Structure 1
Amino acid sequence: MSNPADPEAILNFPILIGDIGGTNARFAILVDAYAEPKQFPTVQTADFATIDEAIQTSILDKTSIMPRSAVLAVAGPVDGDEVKLTNCDWVVRPRAMFDNLGLEDIVVLNDFEAQALAVVALGEEHMVRIGGGEVEPEASRIVLGPGTGLGVAGLIHACHTWIPVPGEGGHMDLGPRSPRDFEVFPHLERIEGRISGEQILCGRGLVNLYRAVARAEGVEARLSTPAEITAAALDQSDAMATEAVSLFVVYMGRVAGDLALVFMSRGGVYLTGGIAQKIIPALKSPAFRQAFEDKAPHSAMLRDIPVFVITHPLAALTGLAAYARTPARFGVVTTDRRWRVDGSAMQ
Structure 2
Amino acid sequence: MFEPIIVADVGGTNARFALVSAFDKSTKQITFDNIQKFSSLDFESFADVLAAYVRTLTVVPKKACFAVAGPRKQDTVFLTNLGWQFNVSDIKARFGFEQFKVINDFAAFAEAAPYINNDENLVVKNGEANPHGNIAVIGPGTGFGAAALVKGEDSNVVLSCEAGHISLAACNELERNLINALSDEFEHVSVEHVFSGQGIENLYRAMAKVHNVDAKDIDAPTITSLALANDDTICVKTLTQFCDWIGAVAGDLSLTFNATGGVYIGGGILPRFQDKLLASEFSKRFVAKGKMQHIVEDIPVVLITQDNIPLLGAAASLDEN
> Do both share a fold (TM > 0.5)?
yes
2:270 is aligned to 276
Contact 2:263–2:300 (CA under 8 A) maintained in structure 1: yes
> Does residue 299 of the first structure (1) align with residue 305 of the second (2)?
no
State how far apart, in whole Å, the 1-side matches of 2:202 and 2:59 are: 44
The 1:240–1:23 alpha-carbon spacing in structure 2 relative to 1, beyond 3 Å, is farther
1:166 is aligned to 160
One-letter amino acid of the structure 2 residue matched with residue 267 of structure 1:
G
* Aligned-pair identity (%): 31
The alpha-carbon deviation at position 140 of structure 1 amounts to: 1.4
> Does residue 124 of the first structure (1) align with residue 114 of the second (2)?
no
The alpha-carbon deviation at position 33 of structure 1 amounts to: 5.0
Q: Determine which of 38, 52, 56 is the counterpart of 2:51.
A: 56
Secondary structure of 2:19's partner?
Answer: strand
Contact 1:135–1:306 (CA under 8 A) maintained in structure 2: yes
The 1:247–1:105 alpha-carbon spacing in structure 2 relative to 1, beyond 3 Å, is same
State how far apart, in whole Å, the 1-side matches of 2:81 and 2:164 are: 13
Secondary structure of 1:37's partner?
Answer: strand
C-alpha RMSD over aligned residues: 2.8
TM-score, with structure 1 as normaliser? 0.80
Contact 1:37–1:321 (CA under 8 A) maintained in structure 2: no
The alpha-carbon deviation at position 323 of structure 1 amounts to: 3.5
State how far apart, in whole Å, the 2-side matches of 1:200 and 1:73 are: 25
Higher mean displacement: 27-36 or 158-167:
27-36
Contact 1:23–1:148 (CA under 8 A) maintained in structure 2: no
Q: Determine which of 218, 243, 251 is the counterpart of 1:223.
A: 218
State how far apart, in whole Å, the 1-side matches of 2:48 and 2:292 are: 50
1:333 is aligned to none
Superposed structure 1 runs of 4+ greater than 6 Å apart: 189-192
One-letter amino acid of the structure 2 residue matched with residue 327 of structure 1:
E
Contact 1:187–1:215 (CA under 8 A) maintained in structure 2: yes
Secondary structure of 1:255's partner?
Answer: helix
State how far apart, in whole Å, the 2-side matches of 1:215 and 1:312 are: 37
The alpha-carbon deviation at position 282 of structure 1 amounts to: 2.2
Q: Deviations over 1:183-241 (max 9, x none)?
A: 333443889721221222122222222233234443242431x3333333223223232
Q: Deviations over 1:242-301 (max 9, x none)?
A: 222212112311211111111222211111122122222222124111221121121232
TM-score, with structure 2 as normaliser? 0.86
Contact 2:150–2:158 (CA under 8 A) maintained in structure 1: yes
Q: Determine which of 93, 98, 106 is the counterpart of 2:100.
A: 106
The 1:63–1:249 alpha-carbon spacing in structure 2 relative to 1, beyond 3 Å, is same
1:1-347 matches, cutoff 5 A? 13-31=3-21, 36-57=31-52, 59-85=53-79, 87-98=81-92, 100-188=94-182, 193-216=187-210, 217-224=212-219, 226-324=220-318, 326-327=319-320
The alpha-carbon deviation at position 90 of structure 1 amounts to: 2.6
Contact 1:116–1:319 (CA under 8 A) maintained in structure 2: yes
Contact 1:260–1:269 (CA under 8 A) maintained in structure 2: yes
Q: Which has the higher strand share?
A: 2
The alpha-carbon deviation at position 13 of structure 1 amounts to: 4.2
How many residues are aligned here? 315
The alpha-carbon deviation at position 32 of structure 1 amounts to: 5.5
One-letter amino acid of the structure 2 residue matched with residue 206 of structure 1:
I
State how far apart, in whole Å, the 2-side matches of 1:201 and 1:93 are: 32
